[in-house]
Amino acid sequence: MLDHLWNCNMGQFPTPMMVHTFWFKFWQQGRQLWPYLDCLDQGGVNQSTLPICRSQKLRGNCPYRFGEENKGDKLRTCMQNLWIHPKESSQPERNATSAFEAYRACVEKHRPLALSCLPRFESSCKQQKLRVIKTVRANMEIAKHFLKKYPNFKLVHLVRDPRGVVLSRIDKQWSQGSFDQSENRGNYYSRGAASFCKQAVRDDRLRTRLAQEYPGRVLLLVYDQFVKRPLEFTEKLYAFFGFPKPNLGYLFSKLKIKDLSSDLSNAKTIFSDIAFKWQENLTYHKLKSISDSCKEFFHTMPLDVD
């Protein structure tokens, strides 16, 4: 799927991705999207289309979000049967089969329109000098594939302190951490941190080898360092991609970061207040659970946290 995205071949996406709410939710962040969204809107497809199919066809079969109590079994059923590549052994309950089929039919009827509108977006995408993909679940093996296949591909490996990661995942009602907490599935602070740190350490080892194999094309960016020295690391990112030093005041004003457009001196304070929220919100025992589960991570990563 990431290959299609990298090459601007959105017509290869599943239909739910083509008409997903996120396209409309973030329309202000990309002018290249506007012709595509206008085309969809003229054909009667908008940010309500996918939610309407869900509410009309899957009501009672799928929970609204991760955090809904006592909905774990239904959530697993929906994930198994609506995933792009469902497991062969996973079949919906007999009384739910018609609901999933009705949902797919509701969504698929919009595919011809989406395919007819996509060239307006794809052509603009292919003309861009820089394409950026931010993905959370992709691991370093996928990055290895891209580095090998695309000579102009560069990788920014973004890593964050697991204490901030775990708190963020529990805070959000739609997240896995919130779901685990509501289902009383044990100590998520320990289990969630262990899962995150195990993958992060594995990725870091492979990233180190890839940086040697592909010099100048791999960059480690520690989030906790970035928020303490945002101006320094923004310039570092621009240099990594071969761009001249940016006008940081203009850049931050375009990103609509409050209080930064006219005064860059307080950048560290504004970013750090967000990044280190965990220092005020996690108790000693929760911090210890995370730290005990991430000993190798903390030994390996240069977090540079006070």
Q: What is the pLDDT of residues 214-242, one digit of tens each?
A: 999 999 999 888 888 888 888 899 999 99
Residue 253 pLDDT: 64
Rounded to an integer, what distance in angstroms lies between the CA atom of residue 261 and that of residue 109?
45
Q: What is the pLDDT of residues 128-152, one digit of tens each?
A: 888 888 888 788 999 999 999 999 9
Crossing angle of the two packed helices 94-108 and 72-82, in degrees rounded to 10: 50
Q: pLDDT higher for 287 or 54?
A: 287
What pLDDT, in 10s, does the model give residues 241-261?
998 887 777 666 665 555 554
For the stretch 54-92, pLDDT in tens is 887 777 777 655 445 455 567 677 777 776 444 443 444
Instruction: Out of 8-12, 14-18, 39-43, 80-84, pick the least confident.
Output: 80-84
Q: Is the pLDDT of residue 23 over 90?
A: no
Ranking 38-47, 80-89, 162-171 by mean pLDDT, the lowest is 80-89
pLDDT of residue 135: 86
Q: Which two tokens stand for residue 107?
A: 């969504």
Count of other CB atoms within 10 angstroms of residue 97: 12
